[in-house]
Structure 1
């Protein structure tokens, strides 16, 4: 680093990658760190990062009246509605939402109930198959999209990863999740 050069770029220390690599190397089996030490557990880093992100969302979502899981449901509904014409496709079902969000019905149903009570969505039983329940955005639910538009941008800014780092991390996390889910079959 030269004199006058900023120590931080994009909110991160330029040397953090080297320090992180040293931490990872020190947690490899055969080093001084016991293999079951907290710093050696991948699950802890994933858990701690998830909690930090969820905390970062809170002040952005509170003015919208949403919790983080509710935001994910709304984001999925906004996305689905933007991709499909109401005239040519049917609305998403509770089951499809659960699959998309990796949530079981015991978790998703109370979320939808609260969103419905807030007037953002309505649930309707299918006339063709009573077991299926469609989830539809209401006008206030649609209008909320414009007020929430800044949320992903602000989180991206807070995370301060390059586009390449973000894509690599997402691909790694998705592969890890798929591997774990497949091993449990």
Structure 2
């Protein structure tokens, strides 16, 4: 149901805080060159949670083998340029299958105009339709703009561990876990009586 909802809604047009009109849509296989260019522009410390090393091959594989029922990726485009990416990661089973994970990145030239906030807001609308009850986001402590955007959307800090993370150069970073409880369809039904 989650994938059907997402496919039916997108693409959508959004307006950034500075007035620029942008398009939000699902990641497509032909986005690989644009996505690679976008990811290379994002500072390495912010790409900390992308487990394998960034390569053009990895990005092509990511775009080609998109499985929205597990990793639903939205991109924001200004013209033909990807300026933001947000992914809703879902677990197909297990004891955390009701908890989704959100990752979000914003192009450095488009910071402070609500790119991350708008993308995560879209994921917040999609997540309950996927049967998710909570969302969490793992970030390093330096991601202050992303952390602030998540706070504005209702996320709360669930944990902060100083120096817990190590980047590719083995430099320490704080680990920050943010989370939000979602209102599910069942809760809407109960509230309406």
TM-score (normalizing by structure 2): 0.28
Q: Which protein is richer in helix relative to its size?
A: 1
More strand by share: 2
- Per chain length, whose mean CA-contact separation is higher, i.e. which structure has more relative contact order (CA < 8 Å, sep 6+)? 2
Larger Rg: 1 or 2? 1
TM-score, with normalisation over the residues of structure 1? 0.29
